[in-house]
Amino acid sequence: MLSVNANMPRPFNTQALVLRRKAFVKNSKLLYLLSQEKGLIKVIAKGSLLPTSRFSGLIEPFSLIHAELVAGRQFYYLTYASLVKNFFAKQASLAALQFAAKISGFALRMLPEEERNLRAFELTIEALEAAQAGFLPIVISWYKLNLLMALGLLPKLPKEVNRERYFFSGKEGGFIENKTAETLVFDLQTTSLFLELLRKPLADCCRQEEAFPTSSLKIIDRAIDQFLCYHS
């Protein structure tokens, strides 16, 4: 375990998911971690660019680690790490890494820093676990909607599902009664699937993937993007 300056705050332990990393000053890396205890945090792994670093192989993107951290003025500092699980090993295909990056990218876009949200942590782990089994578009749609719900940012839902057409307006915050120039038109099937993504566990959605047409998922993703233009 790395030594800690006596004037620094006491270290704390947490599980954390490495969402992103990049080179930093003095042979160090800057990590963007989604942690159980502190939510999204920026962490310095000192000396981790050196070939002799004890963090070598432990802080790869999409790795779940057990971390000991110390709070600094601007960043947290990693003092110890052990690997819990690497969702995508170094030999993972480019397609796998690009798919996982969509999950981590949405988390980085939406999660506020240093705000604990255990549900967001669990959803991100669940999405990455599902992505290991296959790069199903439904994983991304499910993750986006459920993360928005965990953050209290879910679009307005339809009051009932019994019509042939529904209208979605990002500007108006979700489903609305009447069509306007910028609304997206949902048919009954796509509206029902939108709600099922919020009600069903991800594993069930993946098993029933054939019931979620690609065309419907594209409309749902467009609706999410339009909504976030006004409400993120």
Per-residue pLDDT tens digits for 179-190: 988 899 999 999
Beta bridge partners of 83: 65
Q: Which two tokens stand for residue 97?
A: 């890494």
Residues 39 and 140 in one domain: no
Instruction: In whole angstroms, give the CA distance from residue 29 to residue 146.
Output: 31
State whether 66 and 181 are in the same domain: no
- Domain assignment present for residue 4? The answer is no
CATH no. for residue 184? 1.20.1440.120
The residue type of 165 is R
> Cα–Cα distance between 11 and 71 in angstroms, integer?
7
pLDDT tens, position by position, 52-94: 899 988 999 999 999 999 999 899 999 999 999 999 876 678 8
Tokens of 154: 């879910």
Q: Give the pLDDT band (50/70/90) at residue 126.
A: very high
What's the pLDDT score for residue 4? 46
Pull the structure tokens for residue 99. Answer: 């798919």
How many domains does the chain fold into?
Answer: 2
Query: Domain end: 86, 115, 137, which one?
Result: 86
Residue 152 and residue 92: Cα distance in Å, rounded? 34
- In terms of residue numbers, what domain contains 222? 94-231
Write down the pLDDT at residue 26.
85
**pLDDT over threshold 70, residue 96:** yes
Most distant CA pair in the chain, distance: 67
How far the first Cα of the chain sits from its last, in Å, is 40
